[in-house]
Each structure stands twice: as C-alpha cells, then as structure tokens.
C-alpha cells in the first residue's frame, strides 16, 4: 500500500487547511519544490498535489508551483483542483504530472470524464470524491449535492474510471483519524481502486487503512500529520509494507 504525502498549494506556498476552510490555514513552506524533495528523500514514491486556489476559482492558479515540483523530483505526482476541461488536463500531463484528479466536473460535466478517460487512459485520470456525511461536495467543498459518494463512483465506473481518491471532509486536516467504515464501503460497493484521504493522525491510522487493502484500498494520502511531526514518513512506509519498527 502506498503512503502518499500531500502538498496543498495556495498562493504558491505549501499549506494545510482544516476541513477545507481557508480561514483555517497553516503555511508550512514558501518552497513547495523543496518540500517535494524532502518527501522523495525520505522514501516517498508518489506525491499528491492540490491547487487549492484552483479548486475555489474553477481554473488553475498554481501551475508554476506545480511545474517546479514536477521538475524537482523523479517520483510521479497526481494533481487536482480546478481542472475542468480537456485542454487543462493535457497541459498538466504534458508538463509531467502523472495523473490528473477530476472532482467537481464529474457532477457538472460527466461527459468530460468519459472523454478524458478515452483520450488519456484510466491510469492518468483519477476521480476525486470529497464527501460530507456521505454526500458529495463540490466547488472547493463549498456545497454538497444530493448524490452519495458510492452513487457517483458507480456512475463514473460506467464511464471508464478505475481509481478514486475518497476524502471525508470532516476528517481532513483534523487529525481525528480516517473514516474507515466509509472508505471500506466505497471500496467494497464499487470494486474500484481506492485511495483513502482525510484525518490521518499517526502510525495507528496507517495500520487501520492497511487493513482495508484486501477490500481494494491501494494507498493513503497524508498531510498535516507529516507536517506536524505526528507521523514519520519512513515509519509509515514500513507499516504500509508490513514491516514496522
């Protein structure tokens, strides 16, 4: 199981929010590329990048920071936040981003998801499902729609999607632990490859998510716990590979 460090970008800086709220922002670094090098140096095999400004604006806002990160490391990175047309997907994939995350657009324009999977392949297009109380949230988590995470995932599966990043908004950045039951549910009910996100607080949470691997959970994203020193990436990688200290 992969442990994927998160780099959330706002105004070109590496930040973390609590429950997706801008007013609950902590700035961790003015140099996201240096942060990316740090996680690679500690053994990270993949990076999770989010353009927070893009998520709220509906179009990319931190492409230079993304470019600097991709150029600074040799490991692959996925990117989400405000990506809502084929041209932007192509722009980032050409830049060197390994896979693009589509979220809000899956609700507003599902045909784009189908077109993107058809054009670029399922390995390069990931569905991002952010949920609050089981319901899908969109537009930078500002609003929810009357559709459950499982319902959306099944609809997108029919369009060719194979992988989902599932985030419980109420857990994100809170260090309250991941929503294990909801993560298990979406994995079992859809049969898709699931990446768990939101709430990781320490090694015990990596162990808990590792237990879901047989259900189809292939990776876990962690941010705040790494930045606050509550989780050691090298230890997390040992746990995820079944080798603890």
Q: What one-character DSSP code corresponds to residue 214?
A: G
Q: How far apart are CA 121 and CA 132, in angstroms?
A: 29
Q: What are the phi and psi torsion angles at 238 (to 5°)? A: -65, -40
Could you tell me if 94 and 70 are in contact, meaning their C-beta atoms sit under 8 angstroms apart? no
The reply to whether 8 belongs to the active site is yes
The reply to whether 130 belongs to the active site is yes
Q: How far apart are CA 42 and CA 233, in angstroms?
A: 7
Active-site residue, from 8, 168, 172, 205: 8
Q: How far apart are CA 29 and CA 51, in angstroms?
A: 15
Nearest CA to 203 out of 161, 239, 175 is that of: 239
Active-site residue, from 130, 168, 172, 205: 130
Catalytic residue IDs? 8, 130
């Amino acid at each position: 199981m992969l442990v994927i460090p998160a780099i959330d970008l706002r105004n070109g800086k590496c930040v973390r929010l609590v429950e997706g709220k801008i007013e609950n922002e902590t700035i961790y670094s003015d140099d996201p590329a240096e942060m990316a090098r740090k996680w690679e140096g500690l053994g990270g095999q993949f990076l999770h990048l989010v353009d927070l400004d893009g998520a709220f604006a509906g179009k990319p806002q931190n492409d230079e920071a993304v470019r600097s990160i991709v150029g600074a490391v040799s490991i692959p990175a996925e990117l989400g936040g405000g990506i809502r047309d084929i041209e932007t997907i192509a722009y980032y994939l050409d830049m060197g981003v390994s896979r693009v995350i589509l979220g809000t657009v899956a609700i507003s324009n599902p045909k784009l998801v189908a077109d993107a999977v058809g054009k670029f392949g399922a390995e390069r297009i990931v569905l991002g499902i952010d949920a609050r109380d089981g319901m899908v949230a969109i537009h930078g988590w500002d609003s929810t729609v009357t559709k459950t995470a499982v319902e959306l995932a099944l609809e997108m599966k029919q369009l060719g999607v194979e992988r989902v990043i599932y985030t419980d908004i109420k857990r994100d950045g809170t260090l309250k632990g991941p929503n294990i039951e909801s993560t298990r549910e979406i994995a079992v009910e859809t049969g898709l490859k699931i990446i768990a996100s939101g709430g990781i607080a320490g090694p015990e949470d990596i162990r808990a998510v590792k237990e879901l691997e047989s259900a189809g959970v292939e990776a876990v994203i962690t941010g705040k716990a790494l930045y606050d020193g509550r989780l050691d990436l090298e230890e997390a990688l040992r746990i995820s590979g079944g080798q603890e200290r």
